[in-house]
Chain A
């Protein structure tokens, strides 16, 4: 058969293919009950990747789309050209923000299980992606996140009570209970309203960045999507716009291997990397160890400096692992090997930074345990505070008529009529 392909004769001369055509439907390496298998991952040494100048032309950056930017090695030492050499207090802030994100996730996941809200999504194992980026950006840079970057708000010191109010859809929710839990919006924190539709925020971030550039501003934009939703047309529209106008934007692809139950192969991972999507668009692409917060910080800082110098966009693939289910609505043991998270070869981002800080002599197990204890109490107290404003379905929501507000700036007659009709009907029913 190979002979006929090599000679160019792929048909039998009568228009029929030889051999019969085959459809390739990807299958992950391991399903429930099978052993996790990550042997196909090629993980280079932590100090293997050189650090190019921020002004490097995208055509000279091809290898970075296939390599892996790393800083922390297997023993927790910061090595190589990408080491951002952060001061001790910054390292400890990173550690605290990641631990707070995990504590927050744990508390809110339990709140959903206790029936206090409808839905939650944890970011367990992916904390470094948000925290590393948030610390590398300026506070006034605009973030267009997806639904698993709660760490950005936490790293920008946003009120966790405010976040919980949103999750509970209660009367303290600034979004008036209109959005599914975790779809935050915090303009003051440079955090764009999260959409439930996937990757729509990508072209929006590019548009924001184009506006900033057109106005001669200094602020840049950053956006996040999952590897699965790089398949959306919006992703490719955004990459085209970003490339064409050299927009000051950082486009992050959080490759956590799973899109609900679909492994990354259904977004094209069997054929190439997600960072390599950048190559066709003439955009700088970096592939980063997403469980190494120092690598995420260093790559984001590189991309931010490049954008601020009018060097244009960067696409960063964060290679990481979604330790928990997609959300409270799915059971990952139904579609993937239960061993995967414990055998993930790039470890846990919090444990890795903790080890690094211990190695530096600025941290120890006792202080870490005390911090975890303090953060658990902090989120418990915050949850109690938020619950004073109500939990989902217990009446302490915004008034019914608020449903009709903010559809338009001014309420047109047809909404006024519908609002009045609703109130009249409830009154007539004695409610």
Chain B
């Protein structure tokens, strides 16, 4: 089947994809290239996943390589550790990031530590895919952004794409990586970029430059940020859904901000951050996750340590509040355009 596709269109010819299709394509490409790649998780098999990210894969690669699992996240990750020890390259899905907590011991104490504790005798080359973030009226159990829990753990990488093109290239790199990687997918932008205004009609990825995705293999190395918008007035560090919210807010303000899409939190592209902040002298950090001990705190410390004498204003953070994600008040919680605009104005005043 794949050969026919190649013959018909050529693998490198980009086609329009939303983020789900790009993720599906990455899985398809990697399963085709490497017989040790297996996909597992709740509802990922016959049905193809609740967000359809694994649609068609079981039909194409068989039940030994794409299969549904019992509803035990601890079991899913534990089994993936064992499969990795055998020599497979598992890509387990945790249906929502909010469900990842039962798997924490297997992720933190096992997958993340296996290479270290065995001095490389055993490794856990797994990529844990999980939709995360709010903006879909998912309530407190379908909206969380727990990336800061994982960036705090030694031995695990944390990757978050913001476009279909990046989603595919980063997922392929994560699957090829021999270390465990948490791949958080911003589900609010699965079907289209989000400008932060929940009350305007939803946009699709159609026509977006970063939704033109090659059909074949390509990879984006982990640890490389993307300059989503070059600028000179201030640096805005963000990732996932917030990249688009920030882009839209900046455009409306007409300010010449440099928007750095981190793409990978661990490993982090410190060179890109440092270069940008030294150029602009001002830094705003935006994430949807709760504020205290969030990844923004680490970013703020790093910028202060490395760029202190270049800073012309205090570093600002716009984040989710330190509350659970409230269902009816979702849009008061979400760090949207109003709060981002206020923060930019404050930074630029000094």
Q: Which of B65-73, B238-246, B279-287 contacts A (4 or more CB under 8 A)?
A: B65-73
Q: Which residues of chain B come closer than 8 Å to A221, judged between CB atoms?
A: 82
Asked if A412 contacts B79 (CB within 8 A), the reply is no
Q: Which of A25-33, A179-187, A344-352 contacts B (4 or more CB under 8 A)?
A: A179-187
Asked if A203 contacts B78 (CB within 8 A), the reply is yes
Q: Which residues of chain A come closer than 8 Å to B266, judged between CB atoms?
A: 412
A173 to chain B, nearest CB (A): 8
Contact A208/B110 with A175-B118, A193-B118, A234-B74 known, Cβ cut-off 8 Å = no
Chain A residue total in the interface (Cβ 8 A) = 45
B295 to chain A, nearest CB (A): 13
Asked if A206 contacts B115 (CB within 8 A), the reply is no
Q: Which residues of chain B come closer than 8 Å to A144, judged between CB atoms?
A: 82
Q: Which of B23-31, B101-109, B135-143, B206-214 contacts A (4 or more CB under 8 A)?
A: B101-109
Residues facing B in A159-204 (CB within 8 A) are 174-176, 178-179, 183, 185-187, 192-193, 195, 197, 200, 202-204
Whole-angstrom distance between the alpha carbons of A206 and B75 in the complex?
9
Which A-chain residue is minimally distant from B82 (CB atoms)? Answer: A207
B150 to chain A, nearest CB (A): 14
Q: Does B261 sit at the interface, judged by CB under 8 A?
A: no
Task: Type the 1/0 row for A204-225, where 1 means its CB is closer than 8 Å to any CB of B.
Answer: 1111111110110000010000
Q: Which residues of chain A come closer than 8 Å to B270, judged between CB atoms?
A: 413-414
Asked if B83 contacts A244 (CB within 8 A), the reply is no
Q: Which residues of chain A come closer than 8 Å to B79, judged between CB atoms?
A: 203-204, 206-207, 210, 241
Residues facing A in B9-59 (CB within 8 A) are 38
Asked if B119 contacts A174 (CB within 8 A), the reply is yes
Q: Choose among A185, A197, A210 the residue that contacts B109 (Cβ–Cβ < 8 A).
A: A197
Asked if B85 contacts A192 (CB within 8 A), the reply is yes
Asked if B122 contacts A185 (CB within 8 A), the reply is yes
Q: Which of A87-95, A118-126, A267-275, A402-410 contacts B (4 or more CB under 8 A)?
A: A402-410
B235 to chain A, nearest CB (A): 19
Which of A144, A178, A210 has the most C-beta atoms of chain B within 10 angstroms of its own C-beta? A210
Whole-angstrom distance between the alpha carbons of A236 and B78 in the complex?
12
Asked if A200 contacts B116 (CB within 8 A), the reply is no
Q: Which residues of chain B come closer than 8 Å to A203, judged between CB atoms?
A: 74-75, 77-79, 81-82, 106
A196 to chain B, nearest CB (A): 8
Whole-angstrom distance between the alpha carbons of A175 and B122 in the complex?
11
Q: Choose among A209, A241, A412 the residue that contacts B75 (Cβ–Cβ < 8 A).
A: A241
Task: Type the 1/0 row for B140-164, where 1 means its CB is closer than 8 Å to any CB of A.
Answer: 0000000000000011010000000
Asked if A200 contacts B121 (CB within 8 A), the reply is no
Asked if B116 contacts A413 (CB within 8 A), the reply is no
Which B-chain residue is minimally distant from A219 (CB atoms)? Answer: B86
Asked if B86 contacts A207 (CB within 8 A), the reply is yes
Which B-chain residue is minimally distant from A212 (CB atoms)? Answer: B86
Q: Choose among A178, A187, A204, A236 the residue that contacts B82 (Cβ–Cβ < 8 A).
A: A204
Q: Does A238 sit at the interface, judged by CB under 8 A?
A: yes
> How many interface residues does chain B have, given as a range?
35 or more
Q: Which residues of chain A come closer than 8 Å to B115, judged between CB atoms?
A: 406-409
Which B-chain residue is minimally distant from A174 (CB atoms)? Answer: B119
Residues facing A in B266-312 (CB within 8 A) are 266-268, 270
Asked if B110 contacts A197 (CB within 8 A), the reply is yes
Contact A200/B106 with A237-B78, A241-B79, A412-B266 known, Cβ cut-off 8 Å = yes
Contact A195/B116 with A214-B65, A413-B270 known, Cβ cut-off 8 Å = no
Asked if B78 contacts A210 (CB within 8 A), the reply is no
Asked if B105 contacts A197 (CB within 8 A), the reply is yes
Asked if A193 contacts B109 (CB within 8 A), the reply is no
Residues facing A in B251-277 (CB within 8 A) are 266-268, 270
Q: Which residues of chain B come closer than 8 Å to A407, judged between CB atoms?
A: 115-116, 154-155
Q: Does B223 sit at the interface, judged by CB under 8 A?
A: yes
Task: Type the 1/0 row for A298-326, where 1 means its CB is closer than 8 Å to any CB of B.
Answer: 00000000000000000000000000000
Contact A211/B70 with A197-B109, A238-B75, A414-B268 known, Cβ cut-off 8 Å = no
Whole-angstrom distance between the alpha carbons of A407 and B266 in the complex?
12
Which A-chain residue is minimally distant from B79 (CB atoms)? Answer: A207
A245 to chain B, nearest CB (A): 8
Q: Does A419 sit at the interface, judged by CB under 8 A?
A: no
Asked if A200 contacts B118 (CB within 8 A), the reply is no
Asked if B78 contacts A204 (CB within 8 A), the reply is yes
Asked if B267 contacts A413 (CB within 8 A), the reply is yes
Q: Which residues of chain A come closer than 8 Å to B70, judged between CB atoms?
A: 237, 240-241, 244
Whole-angstrom distance between the alpha carbons of A203 and B92 in the complex?
14
B16 to chain A, nearest CB (A): 35
Contact A208/B268 with A185-B117, A195-B110 known, Cβ cut-off 8 Å = no
Asked if B82 contacts A406 (CB within 8 A), the reply is no
Q: Does B189 sit at the interface, judged by CB under 8 A?
A: no
B315 to chain A, nearest CB (A): 19
Q: Choose among B82, B84, B155, B267 the residue that contacts A206 (Cβ–Cβ < 8 A).
A: B82
Asked if A214 contacts B64 (CB within 8 A), the reply is yes
Q: Does A115 sit at the interface, judged by CB under 8 A?
A: no
Whole-angstrom distance between the alpha carbons of A146 and B72 in the complex?
22
Q: Choose among A185, A234, A236 the residue that contacts B118 (Cβ–Cβ < 8 A).
A: A185
Q: Does A50 sit at the interface, judged by CB under 8 A?
A: no
Contact A240/B110 with A204-B79, A214-B65, A406-B116 known, Cβ cut-off 8 Å = no
Whole-angstrom distance between the alpha carbons of A87 and B79 in the complex?
38
Residues facing B in A222-249 (CB within 8 A) are 233-234, 236-238, 240-241, 244
Closest 7 CB pairs of A and B: A207-B82, A203-B78, A237-B75, A207-B79, A204-B82, A211-B86, A193-B118
A-B contacts, 23 of them at CB < 8 A, read A142-B85, A176-B119, A183-B117, A185-B119, A195-B109, A203-B74, A203-B106, A207-B79, A207-B81, A207-B82, A207-B83, A210-B82, A211-B82, A214-B38, A214-B65, A233-B74, A237-B78, A238-B78, A241-B70, A241-B72, A406-B119, A407-B154, A409-B179
A contact set with B: CB distance below 8 Å:
142, 144, 174-176, 178-179, 183, 185-187, 192-193, 195, 197, 200, 202-212, 214-215, 221, 233-234, 236-238, 240-241, 244, 406-409, 412-414
| Interface contacts beyond A211-B38, A241-B69, A407-B116: sample of 18 additional A-B pairs, CB < 8 Å, sorted by A | A142-B86, A174-B121, A187-B122, A193-B117, A193-B121, A193-B122, A200-B78, A202-B78, A203-B74, A203-B75, A203-B106, A207-B81, A212-B86, A214-B88, A215-B86, A237-B70, A412-B266, A413-B267
